[in-house]
């Protein structure tokens, strides 16, 4: 039996945000059993905590969706770090956690219990070609002219980002997931001035067996790198995601020098053991 946690991420309320299943002390679990357990939990991600291999890491993390393994994902990074700390993990440097995963070393900051990760470099960036943009827009029921801007914002899962004119348009989307196959799509639009959040975000990833992800750290990281870098977003803001799913999460973004930090609250809602 191995220790198990389930953590809601980007929320201070249990049953909100986005849950991640975390298996502790996962040495010796075969890859196929990790994948099978991720299919069984049927959450957007399930993670496995392992001893680090790379120098400087506090722990190593493997991240699985129901359809396969990812090199990086944001809400599992925050939720797994919270689970590791709650289980007695002590980082080598106070207030700073270093996670090893498929993209290398990812640094997290711990500010009085609120965790944030430094966004890893984008694996793919730049403009989306007209044919891909047309296919993606059509899968969302939009024309390319409805899209204010678009860019690849891929830091591991394969994200392409679309900026729409407003949050109302984002919330009203009814995607055709069959037409979206081949793309992991993130959509963002500004919320009215004076709201708690500056932007509304939705994430669609049917290729990963997650048609709509409730709240997505990796996508928000890529969107922030793009929008802050292009001057379309301020250096510090809050994004809201999961609204249409009844899972309203708040993602806190801030740029500091060359780094973009993405964080939020985390809640451990389930503790127990699992027979793996």
Catalytic residues: 45
Bridge partner list, 267 = 8
Q: Provide the 10 A C-beta neighbour count for residue 155.
A: 24
Block residue for tokens 């990833």: 205
CB 49 within 8 A of CB 21: no
Contact 262, 224 (CB under 8 A): yes
* Cα 249 from Cα 227, distance rounded (Å): 20
222: enclosing H helix or E strand: helix 217-229
Q: What is the DSSP string of 240-263?
A: EE-GGGT--EEEEEEEETTEEEEE
Are 79 and 9 in contact, with CB atoms under 8 Å apart?
yes
């Amino acid at each position: 039996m191995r220790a198990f946690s389930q953590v809601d991420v980007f929320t201070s309320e249990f049953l909100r945000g986005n849950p991640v299943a975390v298996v502790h002390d996962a040495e010796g679990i075969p890859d196929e059993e990790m994948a099978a357990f991720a299919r069984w939990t049927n959450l957007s991600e399930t993670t496995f905590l392992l001893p680090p291999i790379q120098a400087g890491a506090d722990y190593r993390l493997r991240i699985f969706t129901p359809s396969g393994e990812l090199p990086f994902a944001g809400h599992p990074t925050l939720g797994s770090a919270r689970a590791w700390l709650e289980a007695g993990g002590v980082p080598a440097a106070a207030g700073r956690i270093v996670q090893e995963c498929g993209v290398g070393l990812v640094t997290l900051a711990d500010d009085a219990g609120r965790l944030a990760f430094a966004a890893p470099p984008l694996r793919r960036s730049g403009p989306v070609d007209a044919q891909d943009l047309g296919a993606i827009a059509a899968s969302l029921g939009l024309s390319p002219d409805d899209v204010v801007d678009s860019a690849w914002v891929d830091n591991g899962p394969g994200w392409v980002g679309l900026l729409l004119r407003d949050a109302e348009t984002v919330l009203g989307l009814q995607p055709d997931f069959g037409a979206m196959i081949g793309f992991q799509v993130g959509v963002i639009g500004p919320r009215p001035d004076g709201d708690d959040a500056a932007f509304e975000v939705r994430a669609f990833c049917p290729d990963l067996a997650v048609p709509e992800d409730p709240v997505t750290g990796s996508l928000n990281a890529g969107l922030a790198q793009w929008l802050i870098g292009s001057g379309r977003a301020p250096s510090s803001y809050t994004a809201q995601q999961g609204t249409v799913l009844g899972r309203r999460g708040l993602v806190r973004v801030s740029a500091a020098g060359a780094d973009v930090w993405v964080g939020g609250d985390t809640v451990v809602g389930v503790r127990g053991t699992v027979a793996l």
